Structure 1
Amino acid sequence: MPTVVFHKNGATHQGEVKENTNLVVRAGIRQFPFPHLRYECGMGKCSKCACRVMSGAQHLPEPNWKEKKQLGERLAQGYRLACQLWIEHDIELAQDDLEQAA
């Protein structure tokens, strides 16, 4: 099972997830530790769930059109939309405390 390490507000949360898990879905049903994940629409329209991928990016698919539209230049800085990712390998993410521009 993939391990997810999630950094937010100076704290580190870690947990295992089943393969093909979406973290926004896990956050929505309050499964630890992902209720700490900031998100809103879950459909790639708002970019509230933008996270910086610190490790494991090589296992992710290429950004889809929603991520390209919402994140623009932030893609090059390692950001991805958590709502658009289905986790199949270990990953480490950080969600900055600042609100992301939509």
Structure 2
Amino acid sequence: MPTVVFHKAGQTYTEVVNDNTNLVVRAGIKQFPYPNLKYQCGMGKCATCACRVISGAEHLPPANWKEKKQLGERIEQGYRLVCQLWLSHDIELTQDIAPAAK
């Protein structure tokens, strides 16, 4: 079961989640990382859930077309759309700086 370390506004939140977990889905049903994760559509259309991956990126699939469209060059800086990720490995994320869409 993956451990998720989530940084936001100078605070750090850590929790173990079930394998194959999507953090936006969990926040939507008021589980970790709720209420700290900023999100909106959950479908890769708004980029509100964009986070920078600090560690664990090597276990994530390549960015999909939605992430490429919304994040552009920010993908190279480690940003991903959390709504598009199903976690099976430990990951550390930050949402202190939200990138602008496109």
TM-score relative to the length of structure 2:
0.94
Give 2:99's aligned residue: 100
Q: How do 1:19-98 residues align onto structure 2 when only pairs under 5 Å count?
A: 19-96=19-96, 98=97
Q: Aligned partners of 1:78 and 1:93: how far apart in 2?
A: 10
Q: CA deviation at 1:99?
A: 4.6
Identity %: 72
Deviations for 1:32-74, whole angstroms, at most 9, x for unmatched residues?
3332100000000000000000000000000000000000010
Q: Aligned partners of 1:89 and 1:67: how far apart in 2?
A: 20
How many pairs were matched up? 101
Counterpart AA for 1:91: I
Contact 1:52 1:95 in 2 (8 A): yes
Distance 1:72 1:23, change over 3 A: same
Q: Aligned partners of 1:33 and 1:39: how far apart in 2?
A: 11
Q: How do 1:11-22 residues align onto structure 2 when only pairs under 5 Å count?
A: 11-22=11-22
- Three-state SS of the structure 2 residue aligned to 1:36 is coil
Q: CA deviation at 1:101?
A: 2.0
